[in-house]
Amino acid sequence: SQQGEEDPQALSIQEGENATMNCSYKTSINNLQWYRQNSGRGLVHLILIRSNEREKHSGRLRVTLDTSKKSSSLLITASRAADTASYFCATYNTGNQFYFGTGTSLTVIP
Amino acid sequence: DAGITQSPRHKVTETGTPVTLRCHQTENHRYMYWYRQDPGHGLRLIHYSYGVKDTDKGEVSDGYSVSRSKTEDFLLTLESATSSQTSVYFCAISGRPGDTGELFFGEGSRLTVL
């Protein structure tokens, strides 16, 4: 399987705290993307980081990528109850395929 | 929101019956994908298409076939449904899945095979 893995599988934090989730993958990549999924909905793209980038920011999101370790992390700062969702990393390679991790379920307690 | 419509959104069927799920897009995107989502497995790629009549297998393609006769439609067929194919199926599209492309997802089709 080319699927990645994410940890933790589940994370529960208080509103205002930071949330960090990690993704490990198996193959070489062109880019890595993070998606969010609210319960019962489709996935929504959050941020993309290219293989030659090490860090990227978008609003309250910070993504890092370490290609030597085949890993990435997503940091959500100053979390809000509305951030409650599942978060998935996805890797893209030259085969036009996106492979997703197993996801982290984040609960932000008001 | 990207114009992606999946139908049906919910379906209950019996083992051995054929099932077709439809994905329709209004974005004129070249690439279309079918994924299944199961607890503990995340999303797994079933088949994808890189143009009309151009399709390829993903990592869990056994028991599934696809067709794309028009840019806007990508059909997923289960020739003889099995209980292991009970899942939520997502269609996704991408215009430029290369360096900067992203996937846009439909709302999902929940299939139950009894």
Interface test with B, best of A32, A52, A100, A104 (most B CBs within 10 A): A100
What gap in Å lies between CA B87 and CA A84, rounded to an integer?
23
Q: Are B76 and B67 in contact (CB under 8 A)?
A: no
Pairing of strands A31-37, A43-50: antiparallel
| pLDDT confidence band for A97 (50 / 70 / 90) | confident
CA distance B67 to chain A (A): 17
CA distance B16 to chain A (A): 27
- Nearest-by-CA chain B residue for A34: B102
pLDDT at position B1, please? Answer: 59
Of B35, B42, B59, which is closest to A102 when you measure between CB atoms? B42
Q: Is pLDDT above 90 for A2? A: no
Q: Is pLDDT above 80 for B100? A: no
pLDDT in tens, B8-33: 999 999 999 999 999 999 999 999 99
B33 vs A92, more confident: B33
pLDDT in tens, B37-89: 998 888 999 999 999 999 999 999 999 999 999 999 999 999 999 999 999 99
- Chain A contact for B1, CB < 8 A? no
What gap in Å lies between CA B10 and CA B26, rounded to an integer?
22
Half-sphere exposure of B93 (CA within 13 A, CB side): 23
Residues of B in contact with A1 (CB under 8 A): 59
Structure tokens at A65: 């990528």
